[in-house]
Amino acid sequence: MALAEFNNLYNIRYGTSPPTLKYVPLFNYVNYNYTSGTTVASTVIWNIPEDGLLIDIPGNYIFGRCLKSETDNPAITITASNVILDMRSRTLHPKSIGINIKNAVNVTIKNGTIKNAQLHAILIEDSIDIHLSSIKVCGLINCDSSLTPAGIMTKSSADVILHKITVCNLKTKGSSLFGVLFTTTVGSEVNCSTFNCLHNCDGVTAAIGHILSDDIEITCVTISNLSSGFTQNIHAEGHTCIGIIPVFSANIAVSNCNISDIQGSCDDAHGISLFLCIDCTVTNCNVCDVSTGKIGSTSAKTTGVEVYADNVVVHKCTAERITAVNPGDRQCTGFSTALSNNVIFSQCSVDSVTVFNNKGETSKKCAGIGLGYGYAPDPRPAFTGAANNILYVNCTAKSCQIGFDTWFHTNSEWRNIKVSHNCKDVLNVNNSKRTYTCNRCSECPGGLSTTLTNVAIDNTVQQPKTIRCECYKG
């Protein structure tokens, strides 16, 4: 709106001229609140300069209209501390990066949409006390296989809170795609947020990721419609599809999350994967419809919740309709563990876990077994350690090919377990061997086959009552 038009509208509404406005080509400084009559200090952003907009002065900033940037630089860079940027329900259309917060403290961005960024809608670097609220990120498209696009990316920062974030319709053909990715971040929170329709044509797809991070909280998050593909990028970090994936991280709390429709291609697919982490809790989370592979080809493993971590409690969680076609890892699992110590699965339930062969069949000769609870390793030797000191207590397995599998567990206990309509309720086979394989799609460019001999020892299994059906016999 031009300044003259604003003055005219104000005069019509209030019968007097507005307070004096200082006008510059980029900003209008409005120092008056027309409702309360109090003085405020908000800077109105009307446009983005050719090289991007720099906010290097503390204060309140608001969008005057929807904004578009054509620069390869971030559309807006914030280096000042104590900044509030209110997008006022407007949309920012950047070319590469939408907003870059850099070396700043106490910055809030709220109430807006960032659309069609090629790399990051928001990039947070070396900053502390950052709050994003009611932000929608959508339409990220990138075809550079060397890049790692993420809707929101945080690097080397602390105390970052994401509240009521929506990330949707992201598509790339890169090494990996994340809705939100935190790296080397201490203190992060994602709450009351939604992730929907993320697809990587030739690499990893994940909604929420943490790498080398500490003090992580994820609560009341909904994740759905994630998919990954494989065409020719054997140099990608993998082709997995995962809802929530912390790696080399600690002090993690995930609660009250719903994850569904996770579709892998020929690599792993997981609702939640705690990979090489320590001190984690997963509570009241529901995972359903996770699958990988297609008829006529191979895949890797599928799980509802995968634990590759120490000191973990998974409590009151569910996994339903977990499937895999011809998995090289031999199985899909509702709740899995490997290379782990001190893990408790408490009051969890699994319903319907099935492995199909490459013809879409299930039988004792099929390519693997669908486990309610069990050991599910990565075939690479560094990741084939045993599951040690694992407690399954008050857990239920229903309509699985195998309800509970004790294979490769040590010093573990199955207490008060419940079963219903499984092909086999408990598989407890000593001194047996299993062979696991992976290929160029599943992070093994040269292919790999690993044969393990069961090391299960010092386990206590409380046998449940069983209701058998004619199916896999072990």
Q: What is the pLDDT of residues 270-316, one digit of tens each?
A: 999 999 999 999 999 999 999 887 655 666 788 999 999 999 999 99
Task: Give the global pTM.
Answer: 0.88
Domain ranges of the chain: 1-40, 42-138
pLDDT bracket for residue 474 (50, 70, 90): very low
For the chain, what is the largest distance between any 2 Cα atoms, rounded to a whole number of angstroms? 91
Q: Residues 427-459: pLDDT tens digits?
A: 888 878 887 777 656 566 667 788 889 999 999
Does the CA dihedral 122-246-197-238 come out positive or negative?
positive
The whole-angstrom separation of Cα 377 and Cα 306 is 10
pLDDT category at 394 given cuts 50, 70, 90 is very high
Task: Label residue 245 by pLDDT band (50, 70, 90).
Answer: very high
**Is-contact 361 401, C-beta < 8 A?**
no
Mean pLDDT throughout 352-373? 74
What's CA 447's distance to the chain center, in Å? Answer: 27
Q: Is the pLDDT score of 413 beyond 60?
A: yes
Distance CA 297, CA 161 (A): 42
> pLDDT tens-digit profile of 114-127?
999 999 999 999 99
What are 78's strand-pairing partners?
55, 101
Over range 345-371, report the average pLDDT. 79
pLDDT above 80 for 411: yes
Q: Would you state the torsion angle of the CA atoms of residues 381, 385, 386, 389, taken in this order, to the nearest 10 degrees?
A: -170
pLDDT in tens, 144-185: 656 788 999 999 999 999 999 999 999 887 778 999 999 999
Report, as an integer, the average pLDDT of 309-328.
Answer: 92
Report d(CA 190, CA 154) in Å as an integer: 12
Q: Which residue has the higher pLDDT, 283 or 239?
A: 283
The CA-atom distances, in angstroms, between 395 and each of 224, 349, 351 are 25, 6, 11
